[in-house]
Structure 1
Amino acid sequence: MEQHRLDEAYAFCETVCRNASTTFFSSFSALQPDKRRAVHAVYALCRWVDDIVDGDEEPTILETKALKEATERRQSVVSELHGDATPSLSPDEHRRRMMALVDIRIKLQRASGQEITEKDHPIFIALQDVFTRYPIKLADFETVIEGMEDDLYPVLNQTWDELRSYCYKVASAVGLILIEIYGYEDRAARLHAIDLGIQMQLINVLRDINEDMERGRVYLPLEVLSSHNITLEMLANDSIAQTLEWKGFVVEYVDVIKRHQTSANHLFGYLGGRARIQPEIMADAYTSILNEIVRRSGDVFTHPVKLSALRKALLGFRLGLRKLRARLFA
């Protein structure tokens, strides 16, 4: 692969990251250039598959005979995993998105095997280089895609374990990829990275209840909701935010988040000075979101929960201080 083509691929991934999330993109700036480019590539891939599943990206696929057959095989596996449940989308739309995810699976396999060419998508060109530089695992990428496949079906989690399993797929697996790029010396770091991913995704789930329900997804554990006398019908009514039942549920939910947070906070000590800045900043951002939810007494229904401009400025200031500290004490 010619260097200019590789540089163009990484630049494409950087643009995806910059356009998708200023908070994530800013946090990546603390990394050394090579690690930063690798993280951009991973994030761009994750952003892409998420957009395909949520309908924010129109998949463009060359439907070859081999791809159709691979999609049929994967669909058979996914249908069995979901007990032959009916997908959320129309059959044609479901097939298109499933085929796009299978196509990405195949190209990730090719990237890990150094089979990507200059004709392939820039994200795979960049990821192929990342596979040669860092001990990232193809299986972790496949776990992320499995989580995206789950979202093609109505989601009705029943238990904490089912919710944690989903969080592991779409968040912890990403963290396991990233810490291989950051570098660590003790494998215990992987356990704490898993908890960081679960913590962050649990906060996402609580924050995004309205948006997820519109897509036919209820990630909150129904058995736990039921123990607080909360039904699905109640979740569809904003007035639930003022009820004692909901406030009691939120207390339990926040307690579970904080238990994962206690473990997650140990991750930073296993990472180098510059590498730990990115996950620290993201943990700070998500903690700020959680604190805002708690300040609202759990009301995530009447107004979207977002970081204020002041809070973003404070995170930026803290990022600058941490980058300075890392340079001084490296």
Structure 2
Amino acid sequence: MTQANADMEACAEMIRHGSLSFHAASKLLPADVRNPALALYAFCRLADDAVDLQQEKAAAVLQLQERLTLVYEGRPRNEAPDRAFAAVVESFQMPRALPEALLEGLAWDAMGRRYETLSDVFSYSARVASAVGAMMSVLMGVRDRDALARACDLGVAMQLTNIARDVGEDALEHRLYLPTDWLSDAGLEPEAFFANPMPTKAIRQMTRRLVMQANRLYYRSEPGIAALPLKCRPGIYAARLIYAGIGSEVAEAGYDSITSRAHTSKVQKVGWLMQAGLRSALSCVSPQAATLYAEPLPEVAFLVDAAAEQKQTWSRADSLMDALTALAANDRARKQALLTDRARPT
């Protein structure tokens, strides 16, 4: 087995255990897209886990920035996801701004950033999800701005679904992705919610609003799927249907994502995979929907620009550096607060 094949096997194994929904949808992608997509998702999974599982989150994000720099210099670390992603970057001329956007979103996570408005949540979703959608479009050879805008719609929709599903799980970790102005309108303080997370009517209404926003974007994304190469459509339709199905399960539970966590069964996934194949076939004879040409969400426009420019060196290093600087300052303040607490007489 060649090194490249061994690296791809390792990436596939990471996805098999780390992202069941994408693993299921990827089976419908053609091999020339599926393999680089697995490499892409493995690197994204590695990045996500590096921040989630480390105590020193600022250091973890800075190390990821160094790894990304080595990837773009053609000198990846001697690890399967790095080598595989470096091959993808070289083969597809992946604009650096796209993975940098993902790292910026992870930096926001690491500093425990909260989001005041729905637009702020969209901005976060653009970085941690739509950036991946834009990179997937590049892997499929799609650089058309309208199709890229719809791919970014799909990414935001998927992230909103994740947030709606994980309200309770996030609260236990003192993470909050619901817009804080929604909580203020309901007379709720984040810290009080963390102390006693309950599926109150207000919280369930907020969860419902997220699911409704996600559904709106799922529908708006579909003309973009029909604009992809035919061989790629089943896999992306499958991802859209599986994630929307998670939102349906949240709705079925009365938008209570605190006492239960929505999940989908293997039987449901098989049904959505079959439906994805049917929708792909129908997309060949259906007229193109006018919503394909809708303007991109303002929060994702920079991703559309980066992917459409077809310049590998197109970068947003200043924006990423701002996030990393804020993260480092946040980390120093946290450590100083810990030292101050320890120094106080008991």
Q: What's the secondary structure of 1:265's corresponding residue? A: helix
**1:296-311 → structure 2 map (5 Å cutoff):** 296-311=253-268
**1:197-276 → structure 2 map (5 Å cutoff):** 197-232=155-190, 233-234=192-193, 237=196, 239-241=198-200, 243=201, 245-276=202-233
Distance 1:17 1:237, change over 3 A: same
Matched, 1:285 2:283: no
Give the AA of the match of 1:139.
A
Distance 1:251 1:32, change over 3 A: closer
Matched, 1:124 2:58: no
Matched, 1:160 2:158: no
* Aligned equivalents of 1:319, 1:152: Cα separation in 2: 36
Distance 1:175 1:17, change over 3 A: same
The structural deviation recorded for 1:307 is 0.8
Cross-structure match for 2:128: 170
TM-score (norm 2): 0.74
Matched, 1:180 2:180: no
| Residue-by-residue CA offset, 1:275-294 (whole Å, 9 max, x unaligned) | 12222111101111111222
TM-score (norm 1): 0.77
Q: Gapped runs of 5+ residues in structure 1? A: 59-92
Distance 1:185 1:165, change over 3 A: closer
Matched, 1:137 2:95: yes
Matched, 1:191 2:149: yes
Query: Which moves more between the two structures, 160-169 or 222-231?
Result: 222-231
2:71–2:83 CA contact under 8 A, matched in 1: yes
Q: What's the secondary structure of 2:110's corresponding residue? A: coil
2:105–2:127 CA contact under 8 A, matched in 1: yes
The structural deviation recorded for 1:122 is 1.5
* Aligned equivalents of 1:260, 1:318: Cα separation in 2: 19
The structural deviation recorded for 1:319 is 5.3
* Aligned equivalents of 1:121, 1:40: Cα separation in 2: 15
1:234–1:240 CA contact under 8 A, matched in 2: no
**1:26-105 → structure 2 map (5 Å cutoff):** 26-55=24-53, 93-94=55-56, 97-105=57-65
1:185–1:270 CA contact under 8 A, matched in 2: no
| Residue-by-residue CA offset, 1:87-131 (whole Å, 9 max, x unaligned) | xxxxxx32xx43333233223223223233xx6211121112112
Distance 1:34 1:292, change over 3 A: same
* Aligned equivalents of 2:40, 2:143: Cα separation in 1: 22
* Aligned equivalents of 2:92, 2:6: Cα separation in 1: 20
The structural deviation recorded for 1:26 is 2.4
1:186–1:270 CA contact under 8 A, matched in 2: no
RMSD across aligned C-alpha pairs, in angstroms? 2.5
Distance 1:14 1:253, change over 3 A: closer
Give the AA of the match of 1:315.
W
1:238–1:302 CA contact under 8 A, matched in 2: no
The structural deviation recorded for 1:316 is 4.1
Matched, 1:110 2:110: no
Give the AA of the match of 2:61.
L
* Aligned equivalents of 1:99, 1:228: Cα separation in 2: 37
Q: What's the secondary structure of 2:232's corresponding residue? A: coil
Query: Which moves more between the two structures, 193-202 or 274-283?
Result: 274-283
User: Number of paired residues?
Assistant: 283
Distance 1:309 1:125, change over 3 A: closer
| Residue-by-residue CA offset, 1:130-167 (whole Å, 9 max, x unaligned) | 12221321111111111111111223221112111111
The structural deviation recorded for 1:239 is 4.3
* Aligned equivalents of 1:141, 1:113: Cα separation in 2: 14
* Aligned equivalents of 2:91, 2:198: Cα separation in 1: 52
Identity %: 25
2:205–2:255 CA contact under 8 A, matched in 1: no
